[in-house]
Amino acid sequence: MSLNCKDLLGLEHLDKKELQTILDSVKPFKDLFTRSVKKAPTLIGKTVVTLFYEPSTRTRNSFEIAAKRLSADVVNVTVGTSSVVKGESLIDTGKTLEAMKADYIIIRHSLAGAPDILARNLNASIINAGDGFHEHPTQGLLDLYTMYEKKKKFEGLKVLLVGDILHSRVAKSNIWALTKMGAEVAVSGPPTLIPEDIKNLGVKVYYDLDEAVKNADVVNILRIQLERQQENLFPSVHEYVELYQLTKERLGLAKPGVLIMHPGPMNRGIEISSDVADSKNAVINEQVTNGIAVRMAVLYLLKKRKNVSSN
């Protein structure tokens, strides 16, 4: 969040120590989930607004639950029935919410950089919940937290990201954070869906998924965005399934303890087979649970930072 800053816009500009600080802050919030009263007073009197210009099940609800467990007041702006449809600009919408004393605005937008625009124009803390092809920092953090919880290390951990790397904000946030934490990151997918310069980020590329899964400790499978087929970026769903679906047979090539992750929403039968999604290696629902604790930690750290800067 750069810990010197009021916002969390991405993981690219966080250093290893800052990432570690966030990850170390998660456990106490997760421990709260086992109590009969799952609440802390951290954000009492604060207002958290979710402003989603794109659909979401996990991220928006997870932020709402996280904020409520921290005792904040939560307002969900439904963009489709807001004045956005009358042409109100992003900045004017943000300023309107700030005039209502929003302390945090959680934004998802199809435009890469939209959260940054709000952050520059508002005093409220802005949290990026996914912007275009750019970043999805809290998804990256919850992925890292889940990997560490299960594998107990980042140094030398072999993490494979499979699918549409080119259009994936989840892949970008994973790559920025994992490489800084010392993991060995590889990607696999059709050549048309892997950026040419990805190797410059210290990432290994496999076009053959069978080869790639053999080495992995963690396989994080990305949703294949079916609209990409219209752009001729892969010939057919059938061919994608043939070459890049994580099937039970391919899982059989992997190490026995390989962790199977997916940020959701899943296309069962396309990028992942149902039996793999429901296998004992899969931690997809645990990712969702961890997402709440991670978002609580992010809200808590941003509040702490704001308190320091207002002293």
Choice between 131 and 184, CB closer to ligand CP: 131
> Does 169 contact ligand CP by CB under 6 A?
no
Q: Which residues are within 8 A (CB) of 78 and not within 5 positions of it... i.e. 6 or more apart?
A: none
Report the SS3 class of residue 47.
strand
- Return the number of the residue (47 or 287) whose C-beta is nearest ligand CP: 287
| Bond preceding residue 265 cis, omega within 30 of 0 | yes
Q: Does 59 bind ligand CP (CB under 6 A)?
A: yes
Residue 57 binds ligand CP (CB under 6 A):
yes
Which is closer to ligand CP, CB of 47 or CB of 138?
Answer: 138
Per-residue H/E/C for 268-285: ECCCECHHHHCCCCECHH
Contact between 66 and 91 under an 8 Å Cβ cutoff? The reply is: no
For ligand CP, the closer CB: 131 or 217: 131
Please report how close the Cβ of residue 219 comes to ligand CP at its closest, in angstroms.
Answer: 16
Per CB under 6 A, the segment of 8-16, 28-36, 51-59, 154-162 that binds ligand CP is 51-59
The residue (of 57 and 83) whose beta carbon lies closer to ligand CP is 57
Of 258, 263, 259, nearest to 288 by C-alpha is 263
Residue 76 contacts residue 20 (beta carbons within 8 Å) = no
Binding piece for ligand CP, criterion CB under 6 A, among 14-22, 52-60, 208-216, 276-284: 52-60
Nearest approach, Cβ of 157 to ligand CP (angstroms)?
A: 21
Shortest Å, Cβ 180 to ligand CP: 21
User: Could you tell me the smallest distance in angstroms from the CB atom of residue 171 to ligand CP?
Assistant: 12
Both structure tokens of 219: 């396989």
Q: Choose the stretch contacting ligand CP; rule: CB under 6 A; options: 116-124, 191-199, 257-265, 303-311.
A: 257-265
Strands (E), the chain: 47-52, 73-78, 104-109, 125-131, 158-162, 184-188, 204-206, 218-221, 259-261
- Residue 303 burial (CB count, 10 A): 19
CB of 264 to ligand CP, least distance (A): 5
> Considering only residues 38, 265, 304, 308, which one is a binding residue for ligand CP as defined by CB under 6 A?
265
Which of 58, 69, 295, 303 is the binder for ligand CP (CB under 6 A)? 58
- Residue 264 as a binder of ligand CP (CB under 6 A): the answer is yes
Which amino acid does the sequence have at 158?
A: K
CA distance 15 to 182: 12
Query: What are the distances in angstroms from CA 35 to CA 70, 275, 287, 299?
Result: 14, 33, 20, 20
Q: Between 59 and 174, name the residue whose CB sits nearer to ligand CP.
A: 59
> Which range of residues in 25-33, 40-48, 50-58, 185-193 is near ligand CP by CB under 6 A?
50-58
Indicate whether 132 belongs to the interface with ligand CP (CB under 6 A): no
Cα 246 to Cα 276: distance, rounded to the nearest angstrom: 7
Q: How far is the CB of 223 from ligand CP (least distance, A)?
A: 8
The residue from 10, 94, 115, 130 that contacts ligand CP (CB under 6 A) is 130
CB 289 within 8 A of CB 32: no
- What residues line the site for ligand CP (CB under 6 A)? 56-59, 130, 136, 139, 263-265
